[in-house]
Amino acid sequence: MADDGLLPVVRKVYEKREKLGDIWRWAEFGKDGSHDGLQIRRDRFDAAARFAGNRKEGQSGAEKKRWEDAQESYRKERDRLEKKIKQTETDDVNWSLGPEAWGGMRDFFEEMVYPVADNYGITYDEDDKEYGHAAYGDHDPRVTNAFAEDFPTFSGAAFANGLGRKLGRSGDSTGTYSFLYCTWRGVRVRVQILWAVAGHYNHVHVGARRA
């Protein structure tokens, strides 16, 4: 059976078994259909692959029906697990609006932005949600689904470009006001990185807003 993009999904499932619970009971067969190096008797992927792999030309009508049912079960279970995995990936994010989490964007910074700053030796205070910046910008406390941080530095190009590339931008992130968009934990995030533009030569501004 072709992998059909299943390998990374199954590997994630094994990593999250405790969260997902007992989802493995399906059939009596056993084969490494999930291509994870294991042959688990009760792995639904392995079971379906074993049965589907045993198909031969000239099957009887009943045998063909069992094979088709196995294929359908395989597809349905794959889709179900993909949805379940996506859900578990968002479970540990606080998505509440306002000061507690700013729509999940505080966690976005913790996972995606601050580690890059650390890598470049850039300091930060993790609390730059305040008035005194652009009205209704990402700093503005009235915007409850956004978070922003100003990273003090006189040499911000490497950090700005490194962060932009980590978030999917192919070009540089210096000298531009343009937004970039990325998908994080299943949600779309609008990011703005400001360096070497008016008022941004002694700090790198990073703002993220749940789109």
21-60 per-position pLDDT tens digit: 433 333 333 444 445 554 444 444 555 555 455 544 445 6
Among residues 56, 90, 124, the one where a domain terminates is 90
Residue type, 72: E
Residues 84 and 147 in one domain: no
Residues 115 and 199 in one domain: yes
Q: Give the domain extent around 62.
A: 7-90
Among residues 45, 69, 90, the one where a domain terminates is 90
Is residue 4 very low, low, confident or very high in pLDDT (cuts 50, 70, 90)?
very low
39 versus 62: the higher-pLDDT residue is 62
Residues 122 and 202 in one domain: yes
Does residue 24 lie in a domain region? Answer: yes
Residues 12 and 75 in one domain: yes
Residues 14 and 86 in one domain: yes
Does residue 1 lie in a domain region? Answer: no
Residues 30 and 110 in one domain: no
Residues 147 and 56 in one domain: no
Residues 57 and 86 in one domain: yes
Residues 116 and 137 in one domain: yes
**Most confident among 9-23, 87-101, 135-149 (mean pLDDT):** 135-149
Residues 196 and 112 in one domain: yes
Per-chain mean pLDDT for the chain: 76
Structural domains in the chain (count): 2
Does residue 202 lie in a domain region? Answer: yes
Residues 202 and 158 in one domain: yes
Does residue 95 lie in a domain region? Answer: no
- By CB atoms closer than 10 A (0-12, 13-18, 19+), residue 182 is middle
Residues 150 and 124 in one domain: yes
Q: What is the pLDDT of residues 75-92, one digit of tens each?
A: 777 777 666 666 555 567
